[in-house]
Each structure stands twice: as structure tokens, then as C-alpha cells.
Chains A and B, each alone.
Chain A
């Protein structure tokens, strides 16, 4: 698929709209609370895109994505909190360390795929979860995690600009990249790895690129996320529910599309927030999970696909 002017125009519109949105807060059309919700959606979108690059195309499903996010988040948190390293250095270092983590995750991908690979990533996540609590709790904060981590922004509007810019730029960059032959090759790996290898392409190198890109995005997202939250706790991070949220966001939106995970992240975050006033307790997760399951079962291609099919129908109706 070639990059079309229409697509670029849409991206431009999306970014401009996103950057103008906070102006509406002053007019009272949307509240600050809505901005906070969007910030969370932005971060979820970054994580879901990261998952999409690594898993969505190649079919190497990661059930342990918080493994990567956690490396990024913990690295910068420890550097800034315990060693007083400036954020300008700690975040790039965190991204680099996460990419090393991505390389570690890549080792099993050389030998196994499918369900086995998914499980080994889950095991990686569990292992890090256990280790963070046992090894050097003076650095990691152990089970309780760390609090009082330096935050980069004050208030909803600043946090919004930072997270939105980060998300939109990362999204655009990944989207462009996936429009190149690299994206096509990665998709081909997902369909039939052996035939890609047979056609003379170096699948190992291609997969490594996907893992590095995914780790890059996860590390970046994780580092900024922890500097947004100001605290980190292993129980909330290396959690199967967090895995669930990331994967579901990517899949509900539409895997292997980059834009899909952004949709998915916004859809899920808003669904959960809008249920809050009506169902404050545990019912919220029941409805939320139920909707996720139904959408996914109805169309594993996600909202992206549903939208595409819907538009196709409309077009057919318009010009029979």
C-alpha cells in the first residue's frame, strides 16, 4: 500500500485537532477530567502500538509486554530517584536498556513461535515481577514500588500536550515505517515465515527490527508514563490485567494497522471512564470485558475492520 495524500491529510488533521483540543477546556465544552482520560488513552495507545509493531504483524504474540514497559519505567525511575540523574539522560538510557530487554526477548523468538512464544513472554514478565521484589529492594522499592518520582508536567493541559505529541509523533513514524517494504515483509512473516525465508529475505534480521522497534516504543512509553504518574508499583505494572488491556486495545482497534491500536486505546479508556459514574464498582470491569470479548469475537480484525467494511457497504450503496 502506498502512502496517499489523503492519509497524510488525515494525520495532519488528527494532529492539529489534538493540539487544539485543550482550547475547548477554557470554553467549558470539555472538562479537565476528559483531558486526563485522554492522557491515559495516549499512553495506552503508545503501549498498544508498541505491541502491534512487535506482535501484530509478525504473529509473535507477546503476553509479557509489561516486561519491556517495566524495564523502561524502572530504569528511568531508579536513575532519577536513586542516583539523581537528569531526565534528559535517564529517559534515553531507559529506552536503550529496554531495547536490550527486547533483544533478550528476541532470543526465544529464534527458536519458538506461536503459543510457546506467547508463554515464554508471560514467563519473562512473571520472572521480572518476582525479581523486582526480591533483588535490591533498596533500589526498586520492592513490593511497595517507588513514589515521588520527578514529574515532567504539572496539571492536565501540560500532561495532555506532552503525551499527545509523543503518541502522535510515534504513531506517525511507525505508520510511515510500516508503509515501507519493511511492513509488508513483517506481515508476510506473520502469514508464513517459512515462505518469506524461502524467498531469500533474512527473516531473523526482519524480526529483530520488529522487536527493536517494539522495545523502543515500549521503553519510551514506559519512561514517560512513570514520569507522568510520579510513582511506580510492581503489582500494577507486571499484571496480567495490564497485559489484557494492552492486547485488547491493539486487537479491538485492529492489529497490524498502527492506527487501529490508537482507536482501540481511546475506545477502551473512554468506555471504562464513562462507566465510572454509572457503575462505580466491579460491574464496570464486567461490562468492559464483556464488550471487549463481543467486539473481538464478532470481528477479530477489530474496529478498524468493522469501520472499513461499513464504509465499503456505504460506498456500494451510494454507487450501485
Chain B
């Protein structure tokens, strides 16, 4: 029981970290950035190249990865979202194509083979039958820290409040003197950077491979759908629902059905309560 609690908390923290960048974009523009998984992948590979291949310090590697993710977010916004202003379907399809292009680029640069990232913080401790690596502990803490930081940022800073305003009502925000473009730029850049950092943790937990973008995208989508239009607190709660569900299915029901339950949850929520469990909420 305690073991499930520990493992559930750890995995959920990682999922919250993964999903938050995706939620932000969805919240502010109601648009699904299907290349979000690629931000994680770019982050993971950048970190791998700088830290593990070139051997720069891990924190610096993490920073470089965040910058790469941020740049990617900004470029996607400038080149795709801005150009296709207005059409959600077009943006979703373009970002999906982009994800496939990025995948091909990664194969070209790093090859097809999976790579394993060394733990960012090595070490392990066993607590009542559950192994806890310091690495996943760090991922969970980072997840909470990022979410708490964002929550504070949105509430307490001028830019954050502007974001919140845009996510509630674009026209209203524009009338009250907020430049939606600038807010969008900041959001996309921030989302990319967060995605990249999440990617480093995700990859250090699983592996780096050119198709690794799909799984975090599905996790993010699940969180957004189940939670409804993403609020930060909602993201945290739903990440825990999904994380705990996975751990419980793995431990008590059947490990091979792990993915089936997540998909069923998504479909049921979409059909029975399309607005999500928490409905419409501002960022």
C-alpha cells in the first residue's frame, strides 16, 4: 500500500512536469501543439549531446536543453502558429507534420538506436519494497517546483496576469491593452523550455529514441482532456489521477493493460463529460 503511494507520487510528479507546458499552450490559445512531444525529444537529445557526449556539467546541460526547447517553441510560434493565425485544425496538422520531420532529423543526427541518459542525480534508496531513485525524486520535486513557480508567476506578476487574461478572453485582454502576440511569444517560449526540461527527466527515466515524442504527447493529451481546459492546479490533480491509475493497474491488475486504461479514461471522459473533470478554468 505504502509502496503504491510512493510509486504513484513519483510517477505523477513526472507526469505533471511533462504535461504542464502542453497545458499552457492549450489554455492560452485553445490550440493543441502536437509538436510538443518533439520539444521533449529535442531537450533530451540536446542534454545528451552536451552533457554525456561533450561532458559539460549537468546543470549547464540542462540549461542548454532549456534554451533549445525555448527556441523551438518560439520558432514554432513565429513560423507556424503566426502564419496560420486562426485555423486550429491547420495548426494542429502542421505541428503533427513538424513532429514527423523532427523525428526524421533526429534519426539523421543521432541514428535509430535508443540511448540511455545517465541519471541526473545518481543513487537509490529502498523504502518498504519500493525502489526510489534520487533521479525520479528530483523529477517529482522539479515538477512540483515548476508548477508552484508557474502558479505564483501567473498570479503575482504583471505578465502572468496578462497570460491569465488572454486565456480567459482574448478580445477583452486586447482591449485592456495587453498585446496578445507578446504574451503568446512568452507562453510558447516558456512551454518549449519546460518541455525540454521535462524531456531530460523523462529520458533519464526511460530512454532517448527518435520515436520517444509520442508517449509524452499522449500523457499530455490525457491530462488536458481529463482535466478540461488546463489550469495549473488541474494539471497537478489529473497528473496524479493518471499516474496512480497506471501504478495501480501495474501492481494489482495486469501490467500489460497499462495503456488500455489510460485510453479508456480519455474516451470515457470525452464522451461523458467533454468539458473535462474540472471544466473551464483560467490558467
Contact = CB atoms under 8 A, between A and B. Distances in A.
Interface of A: 59, 61, 63, 107-108, 111-112, 114-116, 118-120, 122-124, 126-127, 130-131, 134, 240-241, 243-244, 247-248, 251, 281-283, 285-286, 289-290, 292-293, 296-297, 300
B132 interface: no
Which among A59, A108, A293 has the greatest number of chain B C-beta atoms within 10 A?
Answer: A293
B96 A286 contact: no
Contacts of B103: 285
A286 B84 CA distance: 22
A297 B257 contact: no
Nearest to B258: A130
Given A127-B263, A134-B260, A286-B105, A111 B94 contact: no
Contacts of B185: none
A282 to B, nearest CB: 4
B231 to A, nearest CB: 17
B97 A292 contact: yes
Residue from B93, B101, B107, B256 with most neighbouring chain A CB atoms (10 Å): B93
Contacts of B89: 59, 61, 114, 118
A116 B92 contact: no
A115 B25 CA distance: 13
B264 A127 contact: yes
Contacts of A285: 100-101, 103-104, 107
Interface string B21-51: 0000000001110000000000000000000
Interface stretch (B59-67, B175-183, B195-203, B266-274): B266-274
B218 interface: yes
Nearest to A115: B32
B100 A115 contact: no
B72 to A, nearest CB: 15
Given A251-B93, A282-B107, A293-B98, A119 B263 contact: no
A292 B104 CA distance: 13
B92 A118 contact: yes
A243 B121 CA distance: 38
B237 interface: no
Nearest to B87: A300
A313 to B, nearest CB: 22
A289 B256 contact: no
Contacts of B221: 119, 122-123
Interface in B87-136: 87-90, 92-94, 96-98, 100-101, 103-105, 107-108, 112
Nearest to B272: A111
Contacts of A296: 90, 93-94, 97
A247 B96 contact: yes
Interface residues of B, number: 40
Given A114-B88, A115-B92, A297-B84, 18 more contacts: A112-B274, A114-B89, A120-B267, A122-B221, A123-B221, A124-B263, A127-B260, A130-B259, A130-B260, A244-B97, A248-B97, A281-B108, A285-B101, A286-B101, A293-B101, A297-B79, A297-B80, A300-B87
Contact of A108 (B79, B98, B101, B270): B270
B263 A123 contact: yes
Nearest to A294: B97
A124 to B, nearest CB: 7
A227 to B, nearest CB: 28
A242 to B, nearest CB: 11
A251 B89 CA distance: 11
A112 B270 contact: yes
A112 B257 CA distance: 27
Nearest to A123: B266
Contacts of B31: 115
A247 B79 CA distance: 21
Given A107-B271, A119-B266, A130-B263, A61 B92 contact: yes
Contacts of B94: 293, 296-297
B276 to A, nearest CB: 9
A289 B107 contact: no
Nearest to A190: B89
Contacts of B163: none
A241 B30 CA distance: 24
Contact of A116 (B214, B218, B263, B274): B274
A300 B105 CA distance: 24
Nearest to A282: B107
B239 interface: no
B11 interface: no
Nearest to A124: B267
A123 B97 CA distance: 19
A115 B88 contact: yes
Interface in B227-283: 256-257, 259-260, 263-264, 266-267, 270-271, 274
B10 interface: no
Nearest to B260: A130
Contacts of A251: 93
